[in-house]
Amino acid sequence: MLTKMSLQKAEKSFISKLREIGGQNPYLCMQCGNCSAVCPMVEHMEISPRMVLRLSQLGMEDRLRKFKSFWVCSSCYSCGVQCPRGIKIPSLLEALRLMTLRQNVNYIEPSSEVVSGDDYPQIALVAALRKMSS
Ligand code: SF4
Ligand code: SF4
């Protein structure tokens, strides 16, 4: 079981990795919600981009991983353009994807039915596999 001190250490390590890989500072977020208001994918996310930022500030890595929000982000950059604090939110979401993939956790398994079926164009499947599997 994690003690309070080791938990704080894990949270700090998560935030510093996220900052290093994403090149963004989640602490700049003031929770205005502009990012969520303009996000075209928000209705497919369990938690909004604003909430992803909040959980990132709190270092809640396990909680973040329970939601698919950072997987369904289409990297359209609308949120980054509207952020009054200049945070490149898609870069943070990309960092969350990378950090998850580095732990060998895939969102799409290459052997899954989705990939072997012919419901989607091949180019879309290749793009999805590049983004969502390690
Ligand atoms: S980059 Fe991702 S989170 Fe930002 S608006 Fe586009 S889909 Fe939403
Ligand atoms: S737009 Fe920027 S400051 Fe506002 S909630 Fe989103 S990340 Fe935070």
pLDDT in tens, 23-53: 999 999 999 999 999 999 999 999 999 999 9
pLDDT at 124 over 90: no
Q: Is residue 94 part of a domain?
A: yes
78 shares a domain with 62: yes
Mean pLDDT of the chain: 92
Tell me: do 82 and 126 sit in the same domain. no
CA of 36 to the centre of ligand 1 (A): 8
Domain with 116 in it: 107-134
For ligand 2, atom 3, the nearest C-alpha belongs to: 29
Between vectors from CA 32 to CA 44 and to CA 14, what angle results, nearest 5°?
70
More confident residue, 111 or 45: 45
Whole-number Cα distances in Å, 129 to 21, 99, 122, 134:
20, 16, 10, 8
In a shared domain, residues 80 and 116: no
7 CA → ligand 2 middle, Å: 26
Mean pLDDT within 114-121: 79
> By percentage, how much of the chain surpasses pLDDT 90?
69
CA 10 / ligand 1 centre spacing (Å): 27
Domain membership of residue 5 (yes or no) is: no
CA 21 vs. chain centroid, Å, equals 12
Quick one: 62 and 128 in the same domain? no
Is 111 within the bounds of a domain? yes
Q: Would the CB of 50 count as within 6 Å of ligand 2? A: yes
For residue 114, pLDDT over 80 is answered with: no
Query: Same domain, yes or no, for 98 and 126?
Result: no
pTM over 0.85, yes/no: yes
C-alpha 118 chain-centroid distance: 28
